[in-house]
């Protein structure tokens, strides 16, 4: 989508990433204003902007496809490498991400369904999400962005797309996070395993760079979670004013913990050791991408041309059929529907 920007003379990748952020923020603000006008039945004629999510990477016509209000397929919001410290760091929020499988959770019709990155249904169970069981209103619908940890059999919640039939795609991330926190605080027992909530849902903490002391404290903490379960995979960085973007966006960044001192200038706990081949962040990012592409090619992944971000360890696990253990047998993917068991770090990168 942004590949042509890298062909412009006189600008480097870092300048272009900041330029894209500014452009996207302005576009998203315009879309929000147009939506407000639509709700007031105002005529915006020539100023109309098409507001649709990017098409899903899965097969078209799939009856299980997730659709938004504009009949477009929802796809996960994917980050890019955070290649440099943003101009105004106080406008960003940091979220710790455990190792696990990125997925959607949809609660509707009195049941909750787990969908893989490619939009394939993998699990069904009951939760306390609106629409997730008979007690919470079977006519309600909720769709949230999560990380599933098989070891803990727990879903860690990143973001919200729909909650109780109310759509949040075009809301700012700061508001989405506030809404999630308020709703999870109201829903007692959603983080516990019981009959009406068969798999715990835990909301990941947010750290606002306006309070740099909290950010510095958590980066020096190890482990992030008790007993190091789940293990920390990395950190996501959200711009406070960004809408939920279906697909990759420079308004959400990704860094491994050992990269943070070099990119952001903030120290981290010494237990976050650098790999032997790490010299500086930009070189490591490029080497990581190249090694990832090579491994995918060897695996014969039909999505090998994609730049979706995975850890090398998780891609290696795809060679083992036991990767899918714990999922409903009838929901396992067909051989020609290859779908990675991937880390949180499955986000699209800059070419």
Per-residue pLDDT of the chain (351 residues; tens, 9 = 90+): 433 443 444 456 677 888 899 999 888 888 877 776 665 554 444 444 343 443 333 333 343 456 655 556 788 999 999 999 998 999 999 999 999 999 999 999 999 999 998 888 999 999 999 999 877 666 889 999 999 999 999 999 999 999 999 999 889 999 999 999 999 999 999 999 999 999 999 999 999 999 999 999 999 999 999 999 999 999 999 999 999 998 889 999 999 999 999 999 999 999 999 999 999 999 999 999 898 888 878 876 554 444 444 443 343 333 333 334 455 543 432 222 223 322 333 333 222
DSSP states of 216-261:
HHHHT-S-SSGGG-SPEEEEEEEETT----SEEEEEEEEE-GGGHH
pLDDT of the residue at 52: 41
Core vs surface per residue 254-274: b (16+ CB within 10 A) or e: bbbbbbbebbbebebeeebee
The burial class, CB within 10 Å (0-12 / 13-18 / 19+), for 197 is buried
Q: What is the pLDDT at residue 65?
A: 55
Domain 3-331 has CATH 3.30.470.30: yes
Q: Which pLDDT belongs to residue 180? A: 96
The answer for 164, left when phi > 0, alpha when psi is -120 to 50, beta otherwise, is: left
Nearest alpha-carbon partner for 143 in 168, 163, 123: 163
Task: Give the closest residue to 106 by CA, choosing from 150, 135, 76, 82.
Answer: 76
Residue pointed to by tokens 């592409």: 293
Provide the pLDDT for residue 122: 93
Q: What is the pTM of this model?
A: 0.78
pLDDT the model gives residue 152: 95
pLDDT of residue 69: 53
The Cα–Cα gap between 215 and 59 comes to 41
Q: What is the CA radius of gyration of the chain?
A: 20
């Amino acid at each position: 989508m942004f590949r042509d920007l890298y062909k412009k003379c006189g600008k480097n990748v870092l300048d272009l990433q900041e330029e894209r952020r500014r452009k996207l923020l302005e576009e998203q603000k315009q879309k929000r204003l147009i939506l407000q006008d639509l709700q007031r039945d105002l005529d915006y004629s020539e100023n109309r902007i098409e507001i649709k999510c990017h098409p899903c990477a899965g097969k078209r016509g799939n009856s299980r496809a997730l659709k938004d209000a504009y009949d477009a397929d929802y796809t996960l919001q994917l980050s890019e490498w955070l290649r440099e410290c943003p101009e105004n760091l106080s406008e960003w929020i940091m979220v710790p991400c455990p190792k696990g499988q990125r997925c959607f959770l949809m609660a509707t019709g009195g049941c909750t369904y787990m969908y893989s990155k490619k939009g394939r249904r993998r699990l069904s169970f009951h939760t306390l999400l609106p629409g997730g069981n008979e007690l919470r209103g079977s006519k309600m619908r909720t769709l949230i962005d999560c990380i599933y940890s098989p070891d803990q059999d727990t879903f860690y919640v990143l973001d919200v797309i729909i909650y109780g039939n109310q759509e949040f795609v075009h809301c700012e991330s700061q508001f989405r996070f506030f809404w999630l926190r308020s709703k999870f605080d109201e829903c007692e027992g959603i983080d516990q395993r019981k009959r009406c909530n068969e798999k715990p849902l835990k909301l990941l903490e947010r750290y606002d760079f306006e309070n740099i002391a909290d950010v510095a404290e958590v980066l020096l903490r190890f482990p992030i979670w008790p007993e190091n379960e789940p293990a920390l995979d990395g950190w996501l960085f959200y711009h406070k004013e960004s809408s939920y973007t279906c697909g990759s966006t420079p308004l959400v960044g990704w860094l491994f913990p050992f990269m943070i001192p070099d990119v952001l200038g903030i120290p981290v706990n010494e237990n976050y050791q650098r790999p032997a081949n790490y010299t500086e962040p930009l070189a490591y990012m490029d080497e990581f991408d190249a090694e990832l592409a090579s491994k995918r090619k060897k695996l014969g992944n039909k999505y090998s041309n994609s730049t979706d971000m995975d850890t090398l360890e998780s891609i290696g696990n795809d060679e083992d059929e036991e990767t899918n253990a714990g999922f409903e047998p009838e929901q396992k993917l067909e051989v020609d529907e290859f779908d990675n068991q991937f880390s949180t770090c499955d986000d699209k990168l800059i070419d």
